[in-house]
Amino acid sequence: MTNAKTPVNIYTDGACSGNQHDENVGGWGAILKYGRHTKELRGGERNTTNNRMEMYALIAALAALNRDGQLVNVFSDSSYLTQCLRDKWYVKWGRNGWRTSAKSPVENRDLWERLISFLPKHEFRFYHIKGHVNPDEKREKLQSLYDKFLANNEAAVRALGAFSCEDFLYAIRMNNRADALANEGIAEIRAAE
């Protein structure tokens, strides 16, 4: 990836064990990469949802930034998160009194409001990346996934100037690590029981 300003790359993931049950445990993981510096974050909570954990991973990562005015590349396997932020669904929700086009209340409004409070502070690019990909998969399959990644993130990749297959494989590895951190967050909650 090339850019005049050194970007902060953020890789996030959320997980929820027992997502469809009243009693469950969720975890989130985030990795911040700035030049040679790397910071890993994780946590979890009881009785949550996978979407909330995906959102909380990004909130925690953004709260960890030391200064405003950063170029921030966010990589997440949550289309719920990346599409909302990239396509600015929240603008229409705000105009509609935090209601969807179906007139129902927007889920996770509390976390969306926290997330969008960070948006004016930085320059963002949001990338949806397929989760749980084995980076040692056959070359043809990885090439196909890379091509889909480029097509699904065309505008953001174009703004970057370049995003090689090696960059893509690195993002996959970081997303897998964020997933492992989310599962560590779940394990920590269970160990405290």
pLDDT tens track for 118-135: 999 999 999 999 999 988
* Helix, strand, coil shares, percent, the chain, to 5: 45, 25, 30
The whole-angstrom distance between residue 138's C-alpha and the CA centroid of its chain comes to 26
List the domain boundaries for the chain: 8-191
* pLDDT of amino acid 4: 60
The whole-angstrom distance between residue 123's C-alpha and the CA centroid of its chain comes to 15
- Six-digit token string for 136: 């040692």
Burial of 138-170, coded b for 16+ CB within 10 Å and e otherwise, reads: eeeebeebbeebeebbeebbeebeebeeebbbb
What is the percentage of the chain residues whose pLDDT exceeds 90? 79
* pLDDT of amino acid 62: 98
* pLDDT of amino acid 116: 96
Of 87 and 136, the structure prediction assigns the larger pLDDT to 87
Q: Distance (Å, rounded) from C-alpha 140 to C-alpha 67?
A: 41
- Average pLDDT of the segment spanning 167-185: 96
- Average pLDDT of the segment spanning 55-78: 96
* pLDDT of amino acid 193: 75
Q: In the CATH hierarchy, which fold is given to the domain comprising 8-191?
A: Nucleotidyltransferase; domain 5 (3.30.420)
Answer yes or no: is pLDDT of 3 > 50: no
Torsion of CA 84, 151, 168, 146, to 10 degrees: 130
* pLDDT of amino acid 155: 84
* pLDDT of amino acid 158: 83
pLDDT tens track for 12-51: 999 998 777 778 999 999 999 999 999 999 999 999 999 9
pTM across the whole model: 0.93
> Rg for the chain (alpha carbons), in Å?
17
- Is residue 27 a contact partner of residue 14, using CB atoms and an 8 Å limit? yes
Mean pLDDT score across all residues of the chain: 92
Residue type, 61: A
pLDDT tens track for 70-103: 999 999 999 999 999 999 999 999 999 999 989 9
Q: Distance (Å, rounded) from C-alpha 110 to C-alpha 108?
A: 5
